[in-house]
Amino acid sequence: MNRIIILPVLLPFATAVLMLLFPRRIATHRLLSLLSGVLLLAVSSLMLWSVLDGGILSLQAGGWAAPFGITMVADTLSCTMLTMASLIGLTTTIYSIGSINPKEEHNLYHPLIQLLLMGISGAFLTGDVFNLYVWFEVMLISSFVLLVLEGRPEQLEGAIKYVMLNLLSSAIFLAAVGLLYGMAGTLNMADLAVRLPLLHHPELLSVVAMLFLITFGIKAAVFPLFFWLPASYHTPPIAVSAILAGLLTKVGVYAIMRFFTTIFILPETDFIYQILLWVSALTMATGVLGAVAQYDIRKLLSFHIISQIGYMIFAVAIHSPLAIAGGLVFIVHNIIAKTNLFYLSGIMRQLTGSWDLRQMGGLYARYPLLSLLFLLPALALAGIPPLSGFWAKLTVILAGIEAEQWPVVAVALFVSLLTLFSMIKIWNEAFWKDDPREEAHRDSGRHLHELSSREKIAMAAPVVLLGLLTVLSGLWFEPLFVIANRAALELLDPSLYIKAVRGGMP
């Protein structure tokens, strides 16, 4: 059973290689993508089930015992994240069949998405710090190429900022890895958790922890380091925006969660939580204030990603079992709702011919069903019961109240209001108000009946699926919370993780 861990990495890789053998056959690419997406979702769900059933899985690559070889570990947190990643991978594949320009599909779009998924799966599953660096790079280089696939000026400009800041973050990551190895003599996460408390001179650890915080902070787009995100996420094709928005920043959050609950839990690194606390408040506030000012729907949603990251960081800053569980529930809810909103903005653009909210209008009158599908993720994001976002926010804020962090709790509640405000802004502008275009110029968008049935189904199916998941995970919140709670307990008591990796080694 342990060998299954390699599959989520191997499957997208094999698919990508197979597709490269048929570079010009789009139909084959689509079929292989769908097949691999379904298989990946099945494998990751199976892994989640087996971890919940039988405890943490681990694999020593090449049979080299930890800490000498590369370790891959699947605990509840990684498997949950992996399941979400494969779900978003599959829905994005379906969505892009209807929305991506066929010219880009020729340009190796599908293999790149598979390689992106491979990097993300690897980052979630690895148990080795240097290996995490490698997976980050795999993920980044695929996202670089996806960003500039069409080569339009604004894409190149956005990509410059994205590439530069991410290269900087990689250089910092590498330096931190080097210093950590120099101090501890190991890079295996479980081994680090054992050895770091035994160091004779742990003073430098605070520097190393800070370096890791900065590099993951850039990837997760937290407060002073987020500027690359709103500069680039609105430029690529909407399917690419959606998968990047749904998954990439969450990998950074995952790394912060993993490092500051399993590895850096020493007196020397305690100050990190205080930093995280204030960073989280500022991230929530700046993100949502940026969003309120925007009229381009993709930019508005991009700023919302930042604001929502703040809640996840808040959960890590408190690091009580309830907070970590809440943080994980929040990540799951956010991945589903946020990706769905990006999918929906693509559909709105198809129907109105514009990304600018001021030029949209009258969608509610023409497409009431679409309006309902928009309301599900939008209200979930704002935290309206009984949708998933309500429970996620409730858990995080309850944990904040338990920890008596009143100022940040107040910020979180206020930001929630502003989130609702900006969702209502989209609703008012795009759905509620009259269509601002004169009857004569209405040809800028396309009517529903002008879309081919392939486009309609491919774009609607992911939206319906993710919308259903938002509702269902709100109505049946308990199973999700039980999984998250278990992940939190595993993270805060690393002994199980250590035992799974190192076996009986002292």
Partner 1 sequence: MTTLLAIIIGVLYAAGIYLILRRSMVRVIFGLILLGHAANLMIFTVGRLTKGSPAFVPEGAESIITRPFADPLPQALILTAIVIGFGVQAFAIVLFRRTYQTLKTGDLDEMRNTDRLPEKLP
By the criterion CB under 8 A, which residues form the site for partner 1? 130, 133-134, 137, 140-141, 144-145, 148, 151, 153-154, 156-161, 163-164, 167-168, 170-172, 174-175, 177-179, 181-183, 227, 230-232, 234-235, 293-296, 356, 358-359
Q: How far is the CB of 381 from partner 1 (least distance, A)?
A: 22
- For 383, phi then psi, to 5°, come to 90, 40
Q: What's the burial of 136, exposed, middle or buried (CB within 10 Å: 0-12/13-18/19+)?
A: buried
Q: Please say which residue, 358 or 454, places its beta carbon nearer to partner 1.
A: 358
Rg (CA), the chain: 22
Q: How far is the CB of 65 from partner 1 (least distance, A)?
A: 15
Angle between helices 297-318 and 321-352 (to 10 degrees): 180
Q: Please say which residue, 62 or 153, places its beta carbon nearer to partner 1.
A: 153
- From CA 119, how far away is CA 109, in angstroms rounded? 16
- From CA 55, how far away is CA 139, in angstroms rounded? 28
* 451-476 burial code (b ≥16 CB/10 A, e <16): beeebeebbbbbbebbbebbeebbee
Q: Which of 288, 310, 314 is nearest to 301 (CA)?
A: 288
Q: Please say which residue, 180 or 309, places its beta carbon nearer to partner 1.
A: 180
Q: Please say which residue, 25 or 442, places its beta carbon nearer to partner 1.
A: 442
Q: Please say which residue, 128 or 490, places its beta carbon nearer to partner 1.
A: 128
Two tokens, residue 64: 């080299």
Question: In the beta sheet, which residues pair with residue 73?
Answer: 58
End-to-end CA, the chain: 25
Q: How far is the CB of 223 from partner 1 (least distance, A)?
A: 17
Q: How far is the CB of 226 from partner 1 (least distance, A)?
A: 12
Q: Which of 266, 339, 267 is nearest to 298 (CA)?
A: 339
Q: Please say which residue, 269 or 294, places its beta carbon nearer to partner 1.
A: 294
What Å distances lie between residue 102 and 105, 149, 248, 399, CA to CA?
5, 12, 25, 48
Sequence-ordered list of residues with C-beta below 8 angstroms from that of 176, at least 6 positions apart, any chain: 208, 211, 212, 215
Give the rounded distance of the alpha carbon of 60 from its chain centre: 27
Q: How far is the CB of 441 from partner 1 (least distance, A)?
A: 13
Q: Please say which residue, 6 or 179, places its beta carbon nearer to partner 1.
A: 179
Q: Please say which residue, 157 or 455, places its beta carbon nearer to partner 1.
A: 157
Q: How far is the CB of 160 from partner 1 (least distance, A)?
A: 6
Q: Which of 177, 181, 245, 161 is nearest to 216 (CA)?
A: 177
Q: How far is the CB of 260 from partner 1 (least distance, A)?
A: 22
- From CA 494, how far away is CA 93, in angstroms rounded? 36
Q: How far is the CB of 148 from partner 1 (least distance, A)?
A: 7
Identify the helix (H) or strand (E) that includes residue 60: strand 57-60
Q: Please say which residue, 159 or 348, places its beta carbon nearer to partner 1.
A: 159
Q: How far is the CB of 186 from partner 1 (least distance, A)?
A: 9
The amino acid at 4:
I
